[in-house]
Amino acid sequence: MIIVTGGAGLIGSNIVAALNARGITDILVVDHLKNGRKMRNLADLNIRDYMDREDFIQRVQFGHDFDAPVEAVFHLGACSATTEWDGQFIMRNNFEYSKILLHWCQSVGAQYLYASSASVYGLAENGFQEVRANEKPINMYAYSKFQFDQYVRSLAGQLQHQVVGFRYFNVYGPREAHKGSMSSTPFHFNNQLLANGVARLFEGIEGYANGEQQRDFVFVEDAVAVNLWFLDHPDKSGIFNLGTGRAQSFNEVVNAVIQWHAEHGRPGGKVEYIPFPEHLKGAYQSFTQADIAALRAAGYEGRFHSVEEGVAKYMDWLNAGDLTRRGG
């Protein structure tokens, strides 16, 4: 059996879909469905069982067995709100939860593939290589991810089974609508263009022109491919950046969305630049670009989608129902 925590989320549900595509349905999804709309991410997927996060943690802590041997755990479950400052809550749900699962996986011989975050680099004054000198988290979410990476590092030489941490950069793609305001910019640009034909971006800041801030945008299909490669290579462990290795601007993202709409009968999309929010000044990453040398050195050779390629695929999926209705 394979366990996917946060299995109703963006990356988790896409991992489940990819496992299904391999013919694997012996999957336990763990999540916290207080937002019941997240079930839409699972409705077309096939799993063996579902368990609430709290019930799952108790089961693991008290040593209860599952119905079948556990081959691997993809741990995506976490509080991902970068605006949450209840440190006790964040450390319990992100740090302690991850520690519990780490030791349990070691005890049962299961592969452990967990979500870290590129947010551990903070404002990234020193770059994005996976070394301690580059890590300076600036919010509680980032700190919880950083501290768990540190905990894993402290166990170097003691771990008997695979442990892999993925520092995700800006992941976007199908099955993210439940994230609301935290959904990706392609998702929001698409909705804005559908609503009134105008997509909104931040004005420039810190020497960047309007919309020219750059991020490493990762299509979720690529993020899943990396996860499954490590599942297939249980001898590989470590903490790895999961990005494309190429920064692209928000202007490139919005232009890719506008281009898709123009090619599907909706020309004339416009861009509006809005004032940069005061509360984000000094706490905003204007540039991110994954250093993927370690990932390549581990043996992963997969190609990553560019923004233009990934956004086009995403728009096909996101607007499929509308295209069908319009005969597009």
Q: Which domains does the chain have, with CATH numbers?
A: 2-171+220-242 (3.40.50.720), 173-215+247-290+305-326 (3.90.25.10)
Average pLDDT, the chain: 94
d(CA 130, CA 118): 10
Q: Select which of 112, 114, 121, 141 is catalytic.
A: 141
Q: Is the pLDDT of residue 250 over 90?
A: yes
Q: What proportion of the chain, given as a percentage, has pLDDT over 70?
A: 98
Contacts of 46 (CB under 8 A, 6+ apart): 20, 25, 27
Lowest mean pLDDT among 78-87, 119-128, 202-211: 78-87
For 256-288, write each residue's pLDDT tens digit.
999 999 999 999 999 999 999 988 887 788 899
Average of per-residue pLDDT across 81-105: 90
Structure tokens at 223: 């993020």
Q: Select which of 99, 136, 179, 236 is catalytic.
A: 179
For 201-231, write each residue's pLDDT tens digit.
999 988 999 999 999 999 999 999 999 999 9
Q: Give catalytic status of residue 141 as yes or no.
A: yes
Structure tokens at 194: 């559908």
Confidence of residue 322 (pLDDT cuts 50, 70, 90): low
Contact 140, 85 (CB under 8 A): yes
Average of per-residue pLDDT across 115-138: 94
